[in-house]
Every structure is written in C-alpha cells, then in structure tokens.
C-alpha cells in the first residue's frame, strides 16, 4: 500500500545517484511505498546506498531486459530515500522508500550495473492562477466520484488525496493510483508545468470514468441474463412438477423415447440388432437432454428408425412395359436394351419363384452364406454424353423403384462409403445408408457415377470399401461404420457408370456385369435431336415447338460441323445457343412494338445458313477431314475415354546420321510399337522393295502423330506406323479412304485390338470407306449395329504382307 511521506525533503541532494531500474511503473515524488528488489546488481546498489546517505534514483525501463544499461532507461526519474530495508530469504530485499524530487540524467558515470549517473533536479513551473485552483477542485471532485464507485480505492487513499495542499502533488498522486499505461504515467512524470500536468491527469480521469460506466453496463447485462436464466430454470422445474402431479408427463424427451420405442417394436428386430438397439434406447432414456452424449444417441436412434428394415414386397413389373420405357427414353442402343431386358427377365423369374418364401428363408440364407436378395450390379461404360445416367433412371422407372444417385468421382475417403465411427464429432453414415434413409425402400435402384475416377489418400481407399458393397456374397450383412449393425443391401439394384475400365481395380471389376454404351453416329444424333434434344431445349428456353422448325440438313450440319464427339452433350449446348439467340431476337422485336399491339409469333426456320449465322463457322469443316493423301502418311483409328477417334501418322526423312525420331507425346507402349514398326518396315523395304541398306544409315526418319499436346499410348497403331514408313520408303500414297488398326508383332503378325465399335464410329464420322482390322476381331463385328457398318468395307488380315497388299498394292 502507498501513502504520503512524512519525511522532510529540504535536505541537500547529491549531484550523482546510483540508479535502480523499475520494471513496472514509474514512482512519483512525495510517495511513501515499499519496493521489492530481486536483481543481484540492484541489491548491491541498495546495500551501498544504505551504508551511505541512503539516496537512490528510480528510473523506469523503456524496454524490459534482464541486465539493463543506461541506454535502456528513461532520462527522467525520481530521487528517493531508503527509510527501511528488510532482507528476504531468496536473497532479495524489501525496501520502504520516501520519494523526494524529479531529476534528469545529464551524464553517465557508470553505464552498466551498478548504474551511476550525474543528475540535475527539476523544479516545477508554478502557476497560482484561478485556473489552477479550478483544476485542483475538479480533480478532487472527479476522483471522489471514481473512488465512491470503485471498491479498490480505500478510505486512506481518499483522505491522503484531500490532505495534499499542493496542486502538482495532487496531480502526481492521482496519476500514481489511476489504472493507466506506464508510458502515460512516465509522460506525466516528465511534465514540469503544473497546469499542463493537471489537465493531462483530468483527461485520464475522464477516460477512467467512461471505462467504469461501460463496466457497470456490462455487469448489469450479465446480472440480468443470469437472473433470467435462473428464473426460467425455476419456472421449468415448477411446470414439470405441476405436469407430474396432473399426470401430464409429455416432455420432449419422453415423446422422443415413445416414438423410437413404437417404431423399434414395429420392426421386430432379432439377434445382434435387437440387443444393440434396446441398449441404445435404454441409455437414451437415462440421459440428461442437456448432455452432449444425448444428441449423439438421439441421432443414432433416428437413423436406425429411418432405415427400411422390413422386407419389400414381391416385384411385379411387366417386361413389355419396361422395354417400352427404355424405347421411349432412348433412341437406338439395341444391344444395351437387350442386355438390360435379360437382367430384368431373370430378376422377374427369380422373384416369382421365390414368392412369399423369401422373407421366412432370409435368415437361413444369411447363415448359410448364400445370397438372399435379388440385387444386381451393372456397369455402364461409355464416353461422356451417351446417356449412361439416363439409362439408370429409365431402369428405375421400368421397375417402379425409387432411384438414388451419387457420384464417387474424386472421392478419396472410404468414410464416404462406409460412414464415420460414432466416436467422431459430426459423425454420419456413409452414402449407402444415407441413400436408403432417403428413399425409404430396401430394394431401390442405386446409381454410382464416375466409379473410374476414385482416388486413394491417407484417409483410405473408397474402391476397396466398395468391394463389400458390390459383392452379393457379402452385402446381405453390410456393416456401416456409423451404424455398426449388419444391414441387408443385397436387394438393391446397383448401377455404376464409367468412361473407361482401365482405372477400375480388377477385384471391383470382377463383381460387375459390363455393358458398353458406344458413341453415336450422325444419323443417330439426328434422330436423338428430333425426338429428345430439340423439344427439351425449346422448353428450357421458353419456346414452343410450333415456333421453331429445323431441317434435316441443319441438324446433320450441327452434328458433323459443331458436335463431332461421341455423345450428344455438345449437340445440346449448340441447340441451346441457337434458341437463346432466337429468344433474344423475339424479345427485342416485341419491345419495338407500340404499346397495346400484340406481337405475331412467326415460325423460325433453322436451315444450314441459319445454323452458321448463330453458331459461327463450323469447328469441323468437311474439307479438313483427316486424309492420307501423300507419301509417308497413313490413317489410323484410336480409342479414348471420350469415344473413338481417327489418328494421322506422319513420316518424313531427311539426310542425316540415321535413326528414328518420335514426337507427338507418345506413351512407352506406343514408342515400343513404333520401334517394332521401324524394324518391320526396314526389313520389308530391303527385302521386298529393294531399298538399299545404306539408305537407312544416311537418312534420319521422323515419325509424328498430331496433335502434339494430346497424350497417346497403346499398341493398336502398329500396322498404321509401319505402313506410313513403307509409304515414305516407296514414295507412294496409301490407296483411297482407307484406315487401319492392329497391333504388329516383330515377325509381321497382326494381333487383335480393343474398342472396334468406337473406332468404327470414328471412321464413319471421318467418311472412311475401308478399314483394315485384325482377323481375330471378326467376332467383334457382330456387336456393331448394321447402320454403323453400312457403307464401310472391313478387311481382316493376319499378316503385315496382307496389309501392304491392300494399302500399297504393286
């Protein structure tokens, strides 16, 4: 506690003082207060001072440091006399000091501990005007108001303040007890003009009063909230007691408990499920609603009662009706529809044979490890935009089942499939259980999109998690991590989609029946546009069918010139673009009419000229079709995840050191295939066409496959590259509109390839009339629709010599 000093200060003060650094706040003159000294160097200073005149200088540190120097101290401090010293057990001292007068350090006599400085004592600039008297009264009045509202101000402090008779000392005393920053206190200490010092302290008092007002307001608000909370609690307790007396125990918890119990009893659980659910229900009844575990258990029980546990009724759908739905929703795809119809027929036959015995035999089938449901797993593979997702919706409509779709593209967390364990905050079931909760049926159609685009991370492998989901031998007792109970999903009809099979793990692929959906040719796109795309786009853009009329040539022009991909998504985008421009023109014409006049709705005829007006010049003009029209160039066929494509192989030679240069972003397999093609072509050139062996030593051959930025790989361009090289060696162009595909062996055998259907569609789009294929791929021609094969001649070969006879006849 600080108090006013009673020690006289009219003694002679020395011109040099040992300086003690203050870590906290500065100490003003005229104060009697204790100080704790712990620094060994400062203790030594105190001991030396006590043995002498007991005078020291107190100066505040600018920046706190363990071993301060003179440069770390402020220039202005307070001279003090040590009245009493008490040694402490830890080696420090507790001193009682009486502060005497301000001083300024003029010169450093000893810069480091113990610090000694030459000082000059500062005199106050007195001002006995009426303004100073008024300020004195104002300071005392304001401080009296603060001290009355603040219990930290003792009665002793209030008496000390009233008994001080000097204005400057009043300002010093108030500055020392106010809760202000130490830098501000140092600023007051350095003020010699009494009036300015008092004005500055008055500003600090006003700030303190404002803080006290805010503090009182906050305290009042908190007290009101506490009182309201206590009042609400007591009222709720009284209301609960009244309801108990009247037998009206219908609080939220009991109603929730009753709802859960009724639903659980209706399901008639058995075994592990019954035991676990009853334990959770009993735990729920004993929990306090305000506990965190209460919410977790409630959410868990809510998921359980929301799932479809009851066995579904026997399926009763018409195969004829299913076929009509597939026909109505999709044009073509005859092979796909046949495969789906076969699946549905098997499903219907198994369902009618099982009849009502399915439910009673379910548990026995599970115990024996046999499949108790009739679930199927179909994998629809094809390029983007060919209608894989819409086929899944049509299957659900044909079966009369609920449909649920979710995408696993880019998924890297297995918890998305199998859920999170309940120990985690915010845990929830996986997509399978979530879907069943949404559709509220045990035998829906589930579509899992983009299964070829899943990833692996430190959070697990979603593809491995799907193994249990899609395995009929396991999914009758699927165990989600969140649910942690066996749930039968064997009745679910799973349909998965992919653009390619290359990235799907083999164990997962083995569990699915693959149905390939090929790309469309221009005539198919024409029919799809007429039946589906044009009406859909017109409706989307606010037009009626009677307002727009397309010619056959205009639709074919869009298919060939603007949307030459495997699917019809780009076709639909181009139709939308045309219709938006037509709508803009119609609205602008209406706005030009006088008020009250009704606009006519003339039929907008869209021909080839109108298509180019709205869409610009064709992206794929017919005059730039890929052709092999010069020596060293051949036309190949490639398969991509976007469908089939034509591939131009270019070969040139130039004088050099010999060798083969490959460009066009080829993969490792394709580079090996090019090396084989070079060897076979060199052998054929020397032995069959009489090319000098020295020619290969003196000429550099460069083989390129445009476009250079597109990655390419695979062995199926082997015969195409070898033919291009021999075309270069002979200086002869390849005959006609001929394309080819086939893997080439080192001995000249032509080996089978994949994706013949997609490659044939690509050839047709490029107006190819003849295709050389491996003889072992003849069986694949049966899978290609007749309208796709129409007008194309297929030439099966076994040896590369047969390829040369067709492509470069003598």
Catalytic residue among 394, 490, 716, 727: 716
SS3 451: helix
Report d(CA 316, CA 344) in Å as an integer.
Answer: 11
DSSP codes, 388-415? HHHHHHHHHHHHT--EEEEE-TT---TH
Strands 750-751 and 743-744, by their bridges, are antiparallel
Catalytic residue among 337, 388, 442, 759: 759
Report d(CA 659, CA 347) in Å as an integer.
Answer: 61
Backbone angles phi, psi at 371, to 5 degrees: -80, 125
Distant-in-sequence, close-in-space partners of 17: CB < 8 Å, separation ≥ 6: 55, 56, 57, 79, 103, 116, 117, 119
Report d(CA 657, CA 659) in Å as an integer.
Answer: 7
Between the alpha carbon of residue 553 and those of residues 557, 603, 791, the distances in Å are 6, 18, 20
Report d(CA 76, CA 768) in Å as an integer.
Answer: 99
Determine whether 464 is an active site residue.
no
Backbone angles phi, psi at 738, to 5 degrees: -115, 135
Specify the DSSP element, H or E, that contains 638.
Answer: strand 633-640
Strands 93-110 and 116-121, by their bridges, are antiparallel
Backbone angles phi, psi at 765, to 5 degrees: -60, -30
Instruction: Please report how many Cα atoms fall inside a 13 Å half-sphere around the Cα of residue 600, on the Cβ side.
Output: 3
Spatial contact of 107 and 36, defined as CB atoms under 8 Å apart: no
Determine whether 716 is an active site residue.
yes
Between the alpha carbon of residue 290 and those of residues 250, 252, 253, 296, 560, the distances in Å are 17, 12, 11, 12, 67
Start-to-end CA distance of the chain, whole Å, equals 119
Report d(CA 569, CA 588) in Å as an integer.
Answer: 29
Report d(CA 701, CA 626) in Å as an integer.
Answer: 22
Helices 130-149 and 194-246 pack at an angle, to 10 degrees, of 20
Report d(CA 320, CA 344) in Å as an integer.
Answer: 11
Q: State the chain's maximal CA–CA distance in angstroms.
A: 132
Q: How distant is the alpha carbon of residue 740 from its chain centre?
A: 44
Catalytic (active-site) positions: 716, 759
């Amino acid at each position: 506690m600080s108090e006013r000093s009673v020690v006289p200060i009219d003694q002679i003060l020395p011109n040099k003082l040992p300086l003690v650094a203050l870590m906290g706040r500065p100490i003003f003159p005229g104060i009697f207060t204790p100080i704790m000294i712990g620094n060994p160097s400062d203790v030594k200073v105190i001991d030396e001072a006590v043995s002498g005149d007991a005078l020291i200088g107190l100066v505040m540190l600018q920046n706190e440091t363990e071993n301060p120097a003179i440069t770390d101290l402020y220039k202005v401090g307070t001279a003090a006399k040590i009245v009493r010293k008490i040694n402490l057990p830890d080696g420090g001292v507790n001193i009682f000091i009486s502060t005497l007068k301000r001083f300024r350090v003029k010169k450093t006599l000893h810069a480091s501990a113990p610090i000694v400085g030459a000082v000059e004592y500062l005199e106050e600039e007195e001002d006995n005007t009426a303004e100073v008297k008024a300020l004195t009264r104002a300071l005392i009045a304001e401080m009296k108001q603060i001290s009355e509202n603040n219990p930290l101000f003792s009665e002793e402090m209030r008496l000390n303040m009233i008994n001080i008779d000097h204005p400057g000392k009043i300002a010093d005393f108030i500055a020392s007890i106010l809760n202000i920053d130490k830098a501000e206190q140092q600023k007051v200490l350095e003020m010699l003009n009494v009036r300015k010092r008092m004005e500055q302290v008055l500003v600090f008092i006003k700030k303190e009063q404002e803080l006290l007002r805010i503090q009182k307001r906050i305290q009042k608000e908190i007290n009101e909230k506490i009182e309201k909370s206590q009042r609400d609690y007591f009222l709720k307790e009284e209301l609960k007691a009244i309801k108990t007396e009247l037998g009206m125990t219908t609080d939220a918890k009991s109603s929730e408990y009753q709802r859960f119990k009724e639903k659980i009893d209706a399901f008639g659980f058995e075994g592990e499920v019954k035991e676990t659910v009853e334990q959770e229900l009993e735990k729920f009844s004993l929990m306090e609603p305000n506990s965190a575990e209460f919410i977790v258990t409630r959410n868990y029980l809510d998921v359980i009662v929301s799932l479809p546990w009851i066995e579904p009724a026997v399926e009763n759908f018409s195969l004829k009706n299913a076929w009509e739905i597939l026909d109505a929703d999709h044009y073509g795809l005859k092979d796909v529809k046949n495969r789906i119809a076969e699946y549905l027929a098997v499903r219907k036959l198994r369902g009618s044979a099982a009849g009502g015995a399915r439910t009673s035999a379910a548990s026995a089938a599970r115990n024996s490890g046999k499949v108790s449901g009739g679930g199927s797993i179909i994998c629809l593979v094809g390029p983007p935009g060919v209608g894989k997702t819409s086929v899944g919706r049509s299957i659900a409509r044909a079966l009369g089942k609920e449909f649920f779709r979710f995408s696993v593209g880019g998924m890297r967390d297995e918890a998305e499939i199998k859920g999170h364990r309940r120990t985690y905050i915010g845990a929830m079931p996986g997509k399978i259980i979530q879907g069943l909760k949404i559709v509220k049926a045990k035998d829906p159609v589930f579509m899992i999109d983009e299964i070829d685009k899943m990833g692996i991370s430190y959070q697990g492998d979603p593809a491995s998690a799907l193994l249990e989901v899609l395995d009929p031998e396991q999914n009758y007792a699927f165990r989600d991590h969140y649910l942690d109970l066996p749930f039968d999903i064997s009745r679910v009809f799973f349909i998965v989609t992919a653009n390619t099979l290359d990235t799907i793990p083999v164990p997962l692929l083995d569990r699915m029946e693959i149905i390939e959906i090929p790309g469309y040719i221009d005539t198919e796109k024409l029919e799809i546009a007429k039946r589906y795309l044009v009406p859909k786009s017109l409706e989307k853009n606010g037009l009626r069918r009677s307002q727009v009329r397309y010619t056959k040539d205009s639709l074919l022009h869009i298919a060939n010139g603007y949307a030459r991909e495997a699917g019809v998504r780009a076709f639909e985008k181009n139709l939308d673009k045309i219709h938006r421009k037509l709508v803009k023109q119609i609205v602008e014409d209406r706005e030009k009419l006088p008020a009250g006049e009704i606009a006519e709705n003339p039929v907008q005829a869209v021909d080839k000229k109108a298509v180019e007006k709205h869409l610009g010049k064709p992206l794929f003009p017919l005059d730039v079709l890929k052709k092999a029209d010069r020596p060293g160039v051949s036309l190949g066929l490639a398969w991509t995840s976007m469908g089939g494509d034509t591939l131009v192989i270019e070969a040139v030679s130039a004088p050099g050191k010999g060798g083969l240069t490959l460009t066009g972003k080829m993969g490792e397999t394709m580079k090996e295939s090019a090396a084989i093609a070079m060897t076979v072509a060199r052998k054929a050139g020397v032995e069959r066409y009489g090319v000098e062996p020295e020619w290969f030593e003196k000429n550099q051959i460069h083989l390129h496959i445009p476009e250079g930025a597109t990655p390419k790989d695979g062995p199926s361009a082997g015969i195409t590259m070898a033919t291009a090289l021999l075309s270069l060696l002979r200086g002869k162009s390849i005959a006609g509109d001929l394309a080819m595909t086939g893997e080439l062996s080192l001995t000249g055998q032509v080996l089978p390839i994949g994706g013949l259907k997609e490659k044939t569609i690509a050839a047709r789009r490029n107006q190819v009339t003849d295709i050389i294929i491996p003889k072992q791929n003849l069986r694949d021609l049966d899978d290609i629709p007749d309208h796709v094969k129409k007008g194309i001649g297929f030439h099966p070969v076994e040896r590369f010599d047969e390829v040369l006879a067709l492509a470069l006849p003598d």
